A and B are shown apart, each in its own frame.
Chain A
Amino acid sequence: MSYATLKEAFYAEGAVTDCPVYDLHGHMGAYYGISFPRPDAAGMVHAMDRAGVKLLVFCHHGTLMTPDVGNAANIEAVRRYPKRLRAYCGINPNYPDVIARDIAEYDQYPDVYVGVKMLADYHGYALTDARYAPAWELADRNELLVLIHTWGGSLYDGPAIVRQAAERYPHARILMGHSCHGEWDKAIALVKEFPNLYFELCAVLDERGVLERFVGETGSERILFGTDLPWFNHHYYIGSVLGAQISDEDRHNILHRNAERLLAKYEL
């Protein structure tokens, strides 16, 4: 069937072949603050199928919360679903020895990793702290994706810190997870100033009107879709993209084209 608009297509079909979705911000597994109905890899891939999500790039909660789980959880899940999953190598600045080992081993997993993930608000060190430097340098050298949690007002990963990181590592492709949530104008200014910075929409889309501002100020080519899966429902956030007052061309950019471009060098 063909439909006049993407909204009609998603409303009717749920998953739309000529609009595959790339989710560039996922997690996996249980997490202390919430009861997830389906947090394992199989449950998440099922959720992806329902909404036509072609690929999820994620970092396991266990990896981020303790080195006792570590990146093994990411490697195991990607190798179980190699057509559907890629991982960010999780970086926890509280364990520099683990970072050193994971960075040294990064190249052993070209089938698993497309970049690194930093969660500074939770780990308690600013993104620019020397403890992260080996990971940033790896990303800068190899033009890797760096998904950083960012939040308005944060001393660890707020707009001022993001600015320093973007200046220092101009070749890293930095995805601002949650787009400096709440400090939208500063996020917009950063994306305008630094060509290596991107908006990421997780926790942005539940507030009506922000996506329109991003697109209005910077166009739609530096905006990436993400859901924190298993936290947030794909159809919910896709619905927000469909509801925003932007064009279907913008929606194609956000839901898949921008990600396809960023991931072009990988065999997916």
Chain B
Amino acid sequence: MNLFDSNLYLGRPTRGAYAPAATAVELLAEMDRQGIGRALAWHVAQRDVSPVTGNAMLSEAIAGQPRLYGCWTILPPQTREVFRKGEDFFAGMGRNRIIGLRAFPGQHNFLLNRQVFGKWLDVIAARRIPLLLSLENGVTWPMVYQLLEACPTLTCVLCDIGIWGVDRYTWPLLENYPNVCLETSLVALEDGGMEATVAQYGAERLLFGSAFPARYPESAILQLRHAEISDEDRHKIASTNLERLIAQVALEAEK
């Protein structure tokens, strides 16, 4: 099974973690141990130190590592910390193999909504850049619902969706917003959850994720290997759905 991991981080968090990967080399060694070919990574310093510091640390870590793609973390454009005046943000993403964005509104003290992000939301949606939101990292369900109501075409990947099965939250989103996907590290935990979601909304809406180093990658991998879905669907979830999302991302320079 060719695995493309949509949800793991490198770096060592403030509050500690069991055997994290401090560097890209350590992360790649762990991926080799797990049979994970490629990954869309973030750096925990983006959350725990500052998005500005963490974004730079991530770019530096994945430079020259073709198996690793990155997510930068965004902040409100008004403070010009991440979206800087006179800099082409998207071209910068392209130069650094950054093909996704993350936001931690709880930790970073802002609201992830139309008032704050304005036209940036439409630009991110039009460029088909995936926004990855972790329900364990400062994002709540009402926030997700409001954001998608404000920008229904956003490519949005909901990560770490919760320990308890949350089909009552996720299924209405899958029904209403065609560019919403779920990362599987906790879909896999709900007994029968993956099978039911695939039956209802199709395998295209799920992206494999390990949640390393918070969780054991073997958990989501063993579940996916033996999920009662077709091998074609398994293959989509394991890698090709994320490949498809990346192929759609447009990062050409602003005119």
The 8 Å CB contact of A37, one of B18, B196, B219, B220, is B196
**A10 contacts B by Cβ under 8 Å:** yes
Q: Please, how many angstroms separate the alpha-carbon atoms of A236 and B223 in the complex?
A: 5
Residues from chain A with Cβ under 8 Å of B81 in the complex: none
Instruction: Kindly identify, within residues 21 to 79 of chain A, every residue whose CB is under 8 Å from any CB belonging to chain B.
Output: 33-38, 43, 47, 50-51
- Give the number of A-B contacts (CB < 8 Å): 107
Instruction: Kindly identify, within residues 224 to 247 of chain B, every residue whose CB is under 8 Å from any CB belonging to chain A.
Output: 225-226, 228
**B190 contacts A by Cβ under 8 Å:** yes
**Are A206 and B192 also in contact (CB < 8 A) when A236-B219, A242-B222 are?**
no
**Stretch in A86-94, A140-148, A227-235 with 4+ CB within 8 Å of B:** A227-235
Q: Please, how many angstroms separate the alpha-carbon atoms of A221 and B192 in the complex?
A: 30
**B70 contacts A by Cβ under 8 Å:** no
**Are A206 and B189 also in contact (CB < 8 A) when A37-B195, A212-B18, A239-B216 are?**
yes
**B188 contacts A by Cβ under 8 Å:** yes
Which of A33, A208, A230, A238 has the most chain B CB within a 10 Å cutoff?
A208
**Residue on A with the closest CB to B200?**
A37
* Contact present for B218 and A243 (CB under 8 Å): yes
Q: Please, how many angstroms separate the alpha-carbon atoms of A244 and B212 in the complex?
A: 13
Instruction: Kindly identify, within residues 212 to 234 of chain A, every residue whose CB is under 8 Å from any CB belonging to chain B.
Output: 212, 227, 229-234
Contact mask A229-258 → B, CB, 8 Å, 1/0?
Answer: 111111111111011110000000000000
**Residue on B with the closest CB to A227?**
B191
**Residue on A with the closest CB to B1?**
A11
* Contact present for B192 and A47 (CB under 8 Å): yes
Residues from chain A with Cβ under 8 Å of B17 in the complex: 208-209
Residues from chain A with Cβ under 8 Å of B226 in the complex: 14, 50-51, 235
**A100 contacts B by Cβ under 8 Å:** no
**Are A233 and B193 also in contact (CB < 8 A) when A11-B222, A35-B165, A239-B223 are?**
yes
Distance from A241 Cβ to chain B, minimum over Cβ atoms (Å): 9
* Contact present for B219 and A205 (CB under 8 Å): yes
The 8 Å CB contact of B223, one of A34, A227, A235, is A235
**Are A36 and B189 also in contact (CB < 8 A) when A208-B213, A242-B218 are?**
no
Contact mask B93-125 → A, CB, 8 Å, 1/0?
Answer: 000000000000000000000000000000000
**Are A207 and B214 also in contact (CB < 8 A) when A36-B191, A232-B189, A234-B191 are?**
yes
* Contact present for B215 and A206 (CB under 8 Å): yes
Q: Please, how many angstroms separate the alpha-carbon atoms of A30 and B221 in the complex?
A: 28
Instruction: Kindly identify, within residues 3 to 34 of chain B, every residue whose CB is under 8 Å from any CB belonging to chain A.
Output: 17-19
The 8 Å CB contact of A231, one of B188, B190, B213, B221, is B190
**B56 contacts A by Cβ under 8 Å:** no
The 8 Å CB contact of B191, one of A207, A212, A229, A243, is A229
Q: Please, how many angstroms separate the alpha-carbon atoms of A229 and B228 in the complex?
A: 17
Size category, A interface? 35 or more
The 8 Å CB contact of B168, one of A35, A203, A227, is A35
* Contact present for A240 and B164 (CB under 8 Å): no
Q: Please, how many angstroms separate the alpha-carbon atoms of A236 and B186 in the complex?
A: 9
* Contact present for A238 and B165 (CB under 8 Å): no
Contact mask A174-197 → B, CB, 8 Å, 1/0?
Answer: 000000000000000000000000
**Are A34 and B164 also in contact (CB < 8 A) when A14-B225, A233-B223, A235-B226 are?**
yes
Residues from chain A with Cβ under 8 Å of B188 in the complex: 233, 235-236
**Residue on A with the closest CB to B20?**
A208
* Contact present for B164 and A209 (CB under 8 Å): no
Distance from B211 Cβ to chain A, minimum over Cβ atoms (Å): 9
Q: Please, how many angstroms separate the alpha-carbon atoms of A255 and B19 in the complex?
A: 24
**Residue on A with the closest CB to B218?**
A243
What are 18 A-B pairs at a CB distance below 8 A?
A: A14-B225, A33-B164, A34-B164, A37-B193, A50-B228, A206-B189, A207-B215, A208-B212, A232-B189, A232-B190, A233-B189, A233-B192, A235-B188, A235-B223, A235-B226, A237-B219, A239-B220, A243-B216
Extra contacts besides A235-B219, A243-B219 (16): CB < 8 Å:
A11-B225, A36-B165, A37-B190, A206-B215, A207-B215, A208-B212, A208-B213, A208-B215, A231-B165, A231-B190, A231-B191, A232-B190, A242-B218, A243-B216, A243-B218, A245-B19
